[in-house]
Amino acid sequence: MSNRMKSLGLAAFYVAAVFFVGCIPEDSLEWSEDGSVGLLRVEGALYLVDGETGDLTEIAKENVQPWPDISEDGSLVAYSEKVECDNLSEGLKLLPPGQVKIIQYNARKMCDDILDTGSLGITEKFPDPDDKILKPEDYVNWAIRYMYENADSQLLKILGDEGIKLAKEKVLHYFQVVVVPRDNLKDKRVIASNIFGSCMTRMSRDSRYVAYIMQTQHGEEEMDYSLYIASLKDDGRIILVDQRVALGYDWRKDSRAIAYSNADTENLGQEEVALGTLQERVVADEENGLLAEPIELGKRENGSVETDRCTGEASSLVGLVFYPWQKVRYGFGERIFFSTCLMPLPMSKRDEPGWSLFCYDSVTGAVTNVLPQGVSSHTSQAMNMLQFELSPDGKKVLLPIKNNRLIDYEFGTDKVGIPIFEDEGFGEEETSALVPTFKGNNEISFLVCGKSHYLSETEREKPDRCEIVVLNRSALKGRILSQSWPDEVIGGLEDDQ
């Protein structure tokens, strides 16, 4: 094997590691810019959190998908939820026309296969749809139900009582992106519906739009993440921004552009090492209108099922190694921070790739590794540091490291803090139970175990129970935010370890 292939093989080890589901926690705690109100997602339930008292207000009991968002001023919440649908015809009215066409196409193909063979087959199961986009059971159920409810007498005869029973039992689910105002949680507004899973909602800074990730699955293992934007205006427009993107994208401060990492290959999951690009795409004009043009219905490019595609200019800023869990955040000035693999070239068999945080300066076009040796010595081999968190002023960063610990670093200084002691680390070695977050510019919130020095003896009523701590970075004084939370809420976070 050549040195080149050996080097790529080393990188592939790390690439493969982050492609596993569960590499970043699905539960989250996000804060408004001033830290007055938080948004907590635990095992599908969603709550508002009072920033002073820690009191919880329930928004949804179940089925909330990972990584919801709260607006900077704390007035709006955006999230995706999974919904069970009882009626096929009513459900089809909620879906985009392109997705309905996919369901109809697969139903016809399935029908043709059954008619050609004259039976369901020896397994008494419906044949797999020809189009792999509908491979998972949750999606293919729509095609089965459509086929049965539109079956003619010949097909019904072949299906027989058993086949009809199987078809009727197929449960339909879809996903909807929801926006709800904090001061009126009953005023729930659905802005997008899809048969494919959606997650990672992010509101634009001006709260005009909600971006979200939609999963498009090809076969059993390959998964593409596509980035969409839904308008909160009355037109209800939805546009496809790009495909094969990483989960951690961000809105520019003027709400007219989005930055994200994009894979350069159409065969994610088949490449040993996938290369990618840090992109910035303009999505809205100066009058805040979305830049888009229609896509011909029925024409699907790598799984695209929407009818509008973004036409705004895309700028390729930085080449990088692509991972689905990468994160991008706009910082102070014209800077974009992003996490990715650090792989030295030339590279020998003894060199190992690692992780780091980089900054792209859109004024100079320069890219800088912003982590000094005192920080990177802790983070370079910690894959979960990909989920860094910037402070609202963009001058500080939190970097998750192994065993649910973290680094608190102020850019361009020697101010490096490690709030959780080494003997207080807990949970799985590589993954975090909850990503630490800034609460305003001077406080941080993070999960600690029952033996933490932040918990006094009187506060350790249940030594096995974890807690959320809010730490004042200046005074180095912590307080327990979650002390009044029910055990089932905290237990949900503990189950993530």
For residue 427, the Cα-to-chain-centroid distance in whole angstroms is 22
Q: What is the pLDDT of residue 418?
A: 94
Is 261 within the bounds of a domain? no
Share of the chain above pLDDT 90, in %: 62
| pLDDT of 21 higher than 60 | no
User: Rounded mean pLDDT of 325-351?
Assistant: 85
Total domain count, the chain: 2
Structure tokens at 228: 């969409």
Q: Which tokens in the block code for residue 284?
A: 């809205």
Residue 399 maps to a domain: yes
Catalogue the E-assigned strands of 86-197. Answer: 172-181, 189-194
- For 413, the token pair is 């200084």
pLDDT of residue 93: 95
The residues pairing with 217 across neighbouring beta strands, listed in sequence order, are 223
Nearest alpha-carbon partner for 433 in 405, 470, 397, 464: 405
Give φ, ψ of 63 to 5 degrees.
Answer: 70, 15
Residues contacting 360, CB < 8 A, separation 6+: 278, 317, 318, 335, 336, 337, 338, 366, 367
Residue with tokens 């519906």: 193
Q: Does residue 3 sit in the same domain as residue 150? A: no
In a domain, 49, yes or no: no
Which pLDDT does position 2 carry in this prediction? 37
- As a whole number, mean pLDDT of residues 468-487 equals 94
Q: Among residues 111, 140, 171, which one ends one of the domains? A: 171
Which of 20, 23, 16 lies closest to 429 in space, CA to CA? 23
Average pLDDT (433-451) is 94
Q: What is the pLDDT of residue 153?
A: 95
Higher pLDDT, 246 or 342: 246
- Compute the distance between CA of residue 337 and CA of residue 395 in angstroms, rounded to an integer: 11
pLDDT at 223: 65
Give the C-alpha separation, 6 to 476, whole Å: 46
What is residue 214's predicted lDDT score, i.e. its pLDDT?
Answer: 94
Confidence bin at 12 (pLDDT 50/70/90): very low
Residues 17 and 114 placed together within one structural domain of the fold: no
Banded pLDDT at 350 (limits 50, 70, 90): confident
Instruction: Clarify whether residues 351 and 480 are in a common domain.
Output: yes
User: Do residues 352 and 491 both lie within one domain?
Assistant: yes
Query: Can you give the pLDDT at residue 173?
Result: 96
Beta-strand relationship, 367-369 and 389-390: unpaired
The region of weakest confidence among 83-97, 295-309, 397-411 is 295-309
Least confident of 64-73, 102-111, 129-138, 407-416: 129-138
Give residue-wise pLDDT tens across range 208-236.
999 999 987 655 556 689 999 999 987 77
Q: Please give the full DSSP string across 337-356, using - where no structure is assigned.
A: EEEEEE--SS--TT---EEE
Q: Is the Cα torsion angle 178, 228, 434, 44 positive or negative in sign?
A: positive
Q: How confident is the model at residue 395 (pLDDT cuts 50, 70, 90)?
A: very high
Q: How far apart are CA 305 and CA 183, in angstroms?
A: 35
Residue 267 falls within a domain, yes or no?
no
Q: Measured between alpha carbons, how far is 10 from 155 in angstroms, rounded to an integer?
A: 54
- Give a yes or no: residue 132 inside a domain: yes
The two tokens of residue 84 are: 């069970």
- The answer to whether residue 232 sits within a structural domain is no
Same-domain status, 18 and 157: no
State which residues form the domain around 10: 1-24+325-497
Dump strand ranges (E) for 116-274.
172-181, 189-194, 198-203, 209-218, 222-231, 238-242, 250-251, 257-263
Are 449 and 347 found together in one domain?
A: yes
Q: How many residues comprise the chain?
A: 497
Question: Does residue 242 belong to any structural domain of this protein?
Answer: no
As beta bridge partners, residue 209 has: 231
Residues 444 and 354 in one domain: yes
Does any domain span residue 469?
yes
* Average pLDDT score, the chain: 87
CA distances from 318 to 179, 278, 360, 362, 411 (A): 33, 5, 8, 11, 21
- Please give, one letter per residue, the 3-state secondary structure of 374-427: HHHHHHCCCHHHHCCEECCCCCEEEEEEHHHEEEEEECCCCCEECCCCHHHCCC
Do 341 and 471 fall within a single domain? yes
Are residue 97 and residue 20 in the same domain, yes or no? no
Q: Which residues contact 131 (CB under 8 A, 6 or more apart)?
A: 102, 105, 106, 109
Cβ neighbors of 136 (< 8 A, separation 6 or more) are: 217
What pairing do the DSSP bridges indicate for beta strands 437-439 and 416-417? unpaired
Share of the chain above pLDDT 70, in %: 86
Q: Which of 139, 171, 203 is the last residue of a domain?
A: 171
pLDDT at 269: 62
329 & 420 share domain: yes
How remote is the C-alpha of 144 from its chain's centroid? 29
Q: Of 171, 203, 237, which marks where a domain is finished?
A: 171
Position 169 pLDDT exceeds 80 = yes
Q: What is the pLDDT of residue 220?
A: 52
Contact 81, 68 (CB under 8 A): no
245: pLDDT strictly greater than 60: yes
Rounded Cα distance between 268 and 272, Å, is 9
